[in-house]
Each structure stands twice: as C-alpha cells, then as structure tokens.
C-alpha cells in the first residue's frame, strides 16, 4: 500500500532516513549542536545532560562504550566515573591518553538506574554514533563490551567470538574487549583486556602510526 502511495519516492522513507538527515552535519561541533536537545526516545526526559563524547576530533582511535552512567550524566562527559578511570588505565597500559582518542557511547543519554539500553533507544541513538565515526574517520574502533560491539556489528555474538582478533565495522578495523564495568565486577578478566589492547597497539603501530 505504501508503495502505491509514495511510488519511487518511498525509498527516501527507508531505514536510512535518520542517517541521511545527519549528513548535513560535517563537523563534530555541528553534530553536537544539531542533536544535543534530542527527544527521539524516552531518555530525553530523564537525562540531566546529553553525553555526546569527547577527546580528539581527529583521533585515529575511537573508543565506544554502552551508555553514560550517573557521573557522566551529571557532568555531560563520557567515562569519568569508576569505569572511566579503569578505561584510562587500560589506555595508559598501551601508552595512549584520553586526549589522543575520542570516547563516546552507543547511547548519549543515561538509562535510569543504569539499566540496559532498550532496542528502540539504541535504534534512535545509533545514527549519531555512526555519524560521529564517519566524521572522525578513525583507523581503529575499540568497542568496550558486548553491547557496543554487537550494536555496531548488528550481530548477537558472544564476547568470546569477537575478542582477540581484528573485526571490521564497515571498512574500519575494530578491536572488541570487555567493558570496564564488567572488569570491575570480574577482575580475573582483566588479563584478556590487557591482551586485547596489546593487539590494538600492535595493529596501530604496524598499520597506522
């Protein structure tokens, strides 16, 4: 029925429509300004701050987490709570600083009580993450946790199927490892993350330094 009504122009109203709307934003600053008041999902009503992401706008490495927590919501900056402090240590173990990377999340607004993101919240926010990555054009994505990795890949893989190797998001290399919050709960997994970021460092040095 829709096809009859809209004819060939119906292709404009495809799932790509939200992504296409963002093409007019060609810098991170423009993308931030154009999305900071977003109310596309219920989290717009409960967040204190929109947590867009921060760091080097020309970063070769983009770090993607799941969603802001209470500290991040309070300050509008990603990864500044306990998970963020551990993330900084993980980066520094491979001689990277926060200033060198760009850090952001799948969701830009905090889910209440840090519950898992709902599928419609992810669907509403994901075009913003895609556009961030398109603008920054990093060489490597470091996906922290299953949610970040599977959301980018559009998959439902176990962590064991994704970590320890170089994956691809579109044509960008992607390393997947545990989310720092998972490492705080299970410190015995830290050695896997240390291995994963060593792989990232090797890839960076050999291909992109």
105 binds ligand URA per the rule CB under 6 A? yes
Q: Which of 75, 151, 73 is closest to 106 using CA atoms?
A: 151
For ligand URA, the closer of residues 151 and 173 by Cβ is: 151
121 binds ligand URA per the rule CB under 6 A? no
83 binds ligand URA per the rule CB under 6 A? yes
For ligand URA, the closer of residues 107 and 124 by Cβ is: 107
Name the residue with the smallest CB distance to ligand URA.
65
Indicate which single residue of 55, 68, 111, 127 sits in contact with ligand URA (rule: CB under 6 A): 68
72 binds ligand URA per the rule CB under 6 A? yes
Rounded Cα distance between 77 and 103, Å, is 9
Indicate which single residue of 55, 78, 111, 138 sits in contact with ligand URA (rule: CB under 6 A): 78
For ligand URA, the closer of residues 52 and 204 by Cβ is: 52
For ligand URA, the closer of residues 53 and 127 by Cβ is: 53
- Beta carbon of residue 143, minimum distance to ligand URA (angstroms, whole number): 11
Interface region with ligand URA, contact rule CB under 6 A, candidates 40-48, 59-67, 117-125, 152-160: 59-67
Task: Take residue 76 and report the two structure tokens written for it.
Answer: 């509008």
- Beta carbon of residue 191, minimum distance to ligand URA (angstroms, whole number): 21
For ligand URA, the closer of residues 55 and 81 by Cβ is: 81
Rounded Cα distance between 16 and 199, Å, is 33
Indicate which single residue of 66, 121, 173, 196 sits in contact with ligand URA (rule: CB under 6 A): 66
3-state SS of the chain? CHHHHHHHHHHHHCCCHHHHHHHHCCCHHHHHHHHCCCCCCCHHHHCCCCCCCEECCCCCEEEEECCCCHHHHHHCCCCCCHHHHHHHHHHHCCCCCCCCCEEEECCCCCCHHHCCCCHHHHHHHHHHHHHHHHHHCCCEEEEECHHHHHHHHCCCCCHHHHCCCCEEECCEEEEEECCHHHHHHCHHHHHHHHHHHHHHHHHHHHHHC
Residues near ligand URA (CB under 6 A) are 65-69, 72, 78-79, 81, 83-84, 105, 181
């Amino acid at each position: 029925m829709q096809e009859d009504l809209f004819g060939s122009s119906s292709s404009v109203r495809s799932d790509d429509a939200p992504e296409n709307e963002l093409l007019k934003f060609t810098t991170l600053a423009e993308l931030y300004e154009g999305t900071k008041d977003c109310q596309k999902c219920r989290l717009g009503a409960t967040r204190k701050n929109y947590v867009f992401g921060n760091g080097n706008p020309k970063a070769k490495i983009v770090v993607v987490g799941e969603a802001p927590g209470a500290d991040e919501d309070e300050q509008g900056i990603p990864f500044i709570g306990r998970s963020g402090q551990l993330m900084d240590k993980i980066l520094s173990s491979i001689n990277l600083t926060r200033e060198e990377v760009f850090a952001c999340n799948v969701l830009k607004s905090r889910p209440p009580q840090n519950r898992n993101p709902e599928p419609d919240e992810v669907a509403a926010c994901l075009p913003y993450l895609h556009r961030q990555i398109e603008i920054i054009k990093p060489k490597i994505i470091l996906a922290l946790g299953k949610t970040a990795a599977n959301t980018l890949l559009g998959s439902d893989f176990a962590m064991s199927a994704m970590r320890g190797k170089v994956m691809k998001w579109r044509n960008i290399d992607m390393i997947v490892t545990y989310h720092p919050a998972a490492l705080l709960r299970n410190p015995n997994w830290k050695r896997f993350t240390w291995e994963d970021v060593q792989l990232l460092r090797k890839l960076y040095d050999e291909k992109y330094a």
